[in-house]
Amino acid sequence: MSSLQMVNAKADQVKKVQALALNINAGTSLKEVLRTNLGPKGTYKMLIGGAGQIKLTKDGNVLLQEMQIQHPTACMIARAATAQDDIVGDGTTSIVLFIGELLKLSEGYLMEGIHPRTLADGIEKAKARCIEFLDKTKIPKVVDRELLLNMAHISLLTKLTPSMASTMDSICVDAVLAIRPPTDEPIDLHMVEIMHMRHKLCTDTKLVKGLVLDHGGRHPDMPKKLEHCYILTCNVSLEYEKTEVNSSFFWKDAEGRDKLIKSERAFTDEKVMKVIDLKRKVCKDKPDAHFVVINQKGIDPLSLDMLAKDGILGLRRAKRRNMERLILACGGHAVNSVDDLTEEDLGYAELVYEEELGDEKYTFVEGVKKLKSCTILVKGPNEHTIAQIKDAIRDGLRSVSYTHLTLPTILLVQISVVAGSVKK
């Protein structure tokens, strides 16, 4: 069987020159789509999904992810651009425009009969000369707050209005500096959580040097604001649980039934009492101290009532990612049993308070002992504004993180690079 019989019958078969023209047209067409996005004065694009959802953006990374690109060459260009965005946080549109312009200029040389391999070797030599020129002309610069602010501002200006970018750049820089490790270890941006509240204006977006939990206390008598808080982070079931096997209880009279109910409930009450005893022990000589329990598992109403009577704020069903960040921020240990609890297992925060927004509750944990995690609270009047700010903040965080990690230098503009290459 010949190889020609294995080709897909529905595939388009073209000759070498036509294939090159198709690939060049794919790159230049993608360039024309993103060309008007470049820079602070770039235009917005409206994306309409299959279900009719509308999204306005001029972020090149968002556009490339939302667009349905089928041509293989255009897909490769889009993947290269998104990889740039994942690492640096900016430059997505610039890469697409640069590659598209290279393809357009290469088309003329191809028409003159120059082989594509020769053109590729020439581009590689030009890249090496540009890197050599940059190494010679770079100006060393200490990475300080001013430089980081400039990098964040440049990245945010291409996605937000100047007034919004001026507010968000300091938030991005402060967030990265808050989680920066003391050594030269990579910065873990997962320690910066981005949460949103559909509330007020976008200018009310703020950085919380602590944590924001998207749930609150489940008992009406629990305190709403506490200071000087000891925090117990646990993964213990404080609720009545049914047995995993089929079982039944039999009793002769009502008194026997009450004894069975009390004995069954005593197992959970003992665990709650151990938590309360720890609170009384720790806060005994500290009248201004308070106690907070954040549990990954459930806390039933009876247990919540016991905690509320002792002035303890109890949060249940906390997300796992919040539990991990609580330990890093507040200190202490995550306990899986209430047996042998000590003060060393507790974290500490200066302020814990609750805010309500409609039917939703948010718990703020601020003034933490070890600021290894923080939260950016995005506010906006509608979903479009919130999504736009969240995408811009992610790029700003990556830009600041990459700048701080690589200890970069201020480089000259592209015109100087071209001038230096031409001289050689």
Return the SS3 of 117: helix
Q: Which two tokens stand for residue 246?
A: 């089929």
Among 57, 59, 90, 205, which one carries the catalytic annotation?
59
Do β-strands 45-48 and 54-57 pair in parallel, antiparallel, or remain unpaired? antiparallel
Alpha-helix residue ranges (DSSP H) falling in 138-180: 145-157, 162-179
Query: Does the annotation count 92 as an active-site position?
Result: yes
Query: Does the annotation count 277 as an active-site position?
Result: no
Do β-strands 347-357 and 360-368 pair in parallel, antiparallel, or remain unpaired? antiparallel
What does the DSSP assignment read for 3-62?
GGGGS-TTS----HHHHHHHHHHHHHHHHHHHGGG-STTPPPEEEE-TTS-EEEE--HHH
Among 93, 158, 205, 385, which one carries the catalytic annotation?
93
Question: Cα–Cα distance between 226 and 169 in angstroms, integer?
Answer: 31
Sign of CA dihedral 30, 31, 32, 37: positive
What does the DSSP assignment read for 357-386?
ETTEEEEEEEEESS-S-EEEEEE-SSHHHH
Among 73, 85, 90, 92, which one carries the catalytic annotation?
92
Query: Does the annotation count 214 as an active-site position?
Result: no
Among 73, 233, 395, 403, which one carries the catalytic annotation?
395
Angle between helices 254-282 and 301-309 (to 10 degrees): 40
Q: Are 293 and 315 in contact (CB under 8 A)?
A: yes
What does the DSSP assignment read for 210-272?
EEEES---SSTTS-SEEEEEEEEEE---BS----SS------SSHHHHHHHHHHHHHHHHHHH
Q: What is the DSSP letter of 238?
A: B
Query: Does the annotation count 85 as an active-site position?
Result: no
Catalytic residue annotation: 59, 92-93, 395
